[in-house]
Amino acid sequence: MSIKKTTIMSLVLTLIFMVTGCAEKAEEAEDAASFEYEYRSELGGVVLTKYMGKNPEVTIPSKIKGFPVVGIGGWAFSSLDESLISVTIPGSVTSIGDQAFGYCYTLTSIVIPDSVTNIGNSAFIYCDSLTSITLPNNITSIGSSVFRHCTSLTSVTIPNSVTDIGEGAFEECASLASVVLPDSATSIGFKAFNGCTSLASIIIPGSVTILGDEAFSSCESLTSLVLPNGITSIGFEAFSCCSSLTSVTIPDSVTNIGHGAFKSCTSLTSMTLPNSIVSIGFEAFNGCNSLVSFTLSDNITKIGDGAFGDCTLLSQELKQKILQINPRAANS
């Protein structure tokens, strides 16, 4: 019996040492992590304010000094331009601050958990090597310039929780070829996809009611466009310089076509405006030099100066009708 008791006691002591050892190693890892980051206490946890390590592949700890890491502060990883390659964010994090990873030119991969509910403005601006991103399921908006000038970004997965695509959110993402916006989206902000020169297709859901100025300006590869029924106005230069655009469907809900809305859409050959439209803005179709067929609603009372400037292929009959509303409408 004494031998059995001794054996059992030895096993118990071994297990205790093993558990204690694991706990000590975890504490040591947390302590080591505390030297790689500057942080502040917030909301019962810590928010990382600056990364000072040199590891190109970073796994952010879920705890530091026993406290959960709940946020990544503004500019925490910003401008690590020659070192950072990948980042894994733990499930304890709920927010990513403004420009947190901005100007990390070599960052190719980042894993964002569904615990994140807020991503700050310009969070990934100028991350030129980032190729794809899956946004967490609990965010409701994509803030201003979040992915601006991520020139290698080819795909993005936007969850059904998102209602707002912010100002310049994907501006100058020159490799982004297609985007599917969720049915939850209600607004597309100013310059949201401006300069996405590879964007060949975009599905705008019927839930969208607000289309910002220059939202798709200079999307040079966009070939066709169907606008949803909820939109009432096409904003300033919303689709200007979409030089491959050949087809546009405008719903009956639209009453106004803004200044320069389709300016320099040089491949646009035909356009039918619904009877709901009452005004066409300054230079709205200026420079559409392939435009041959254009159906002008009888309800239009206002056409801005230069709205049809350099539309040289329009029939003389149509030009006369346009000039009766505004003699300067065909000015270059």
Q: Is 123 contained in some domain?
A: yes
Q: Assess whether pLDDT exceeds 60 at residue 319.
A: yes
The residue behind tokens 């009956």 is: 252
Q: Say what the pLDDT of residue 297 is.
A: 84
Q: Assess whether pLDDT exceeds 70 at residue 10.
A: no
Q: Is 202 contained in some domain?
A: no
Is the sign of the CA dihedral 259, 263, 265, 268 positive or negative?
A: positive
The share of the chain scoring above pLDDT 70, in percent, equals 89
Q: Is 106 contained in some domain?
A: yes
Task: Give residue-wise pLDDT tens across range 67-126.
Answer: 999 999 999 999 886 789 999 999 999 999 999 999 999 999 999 999 999 999 999 999
Q: Is 13 contained in some domain?
A: yes
Q: Say what the pLDDT of residue 34 is.
A: 56
**What range defines the domain where residue 61 resides?**
1-130
Q: 99: domain CATH number?
A: 3.80.10.10
Q: Is 150 contained in some domain?
A: no
Backbone angles phi, psi at 230, to 5 degrees: -80, -15
Q: Is 12 contained in some domain?
A: yes
Number of structural domains in the chain: 1
Q: Assess whether pLDDT exceeds 90 at residue 1.
A: no
Confidence of residue 16 (pLDDT cuts 50, 70, 90): very low
Task: Give residue-wise pLDDT tens across range 261-312.
Answer: 999 999 999 998 999 999 999 999 999 999 998 988 889 999 999 999 999 9
Q: Is 54 contained in some domain?
A: yes
Q: Say what the pLDDT of residue 81 is.
A: 62
Average pLDDT over residues 218-236: 95
Q: Is 14 contained in some domain?
A: yes
Q: Say what the pLDDT of residue 25 is.
A: 43
Mean pLDDT over the full length of the chain: 90
Confidence of residue 41 (pLDDT cuts 50, 70, 90): very high
Q: Assess whether pLDDT exceeds 90 at residue 13.
A: no
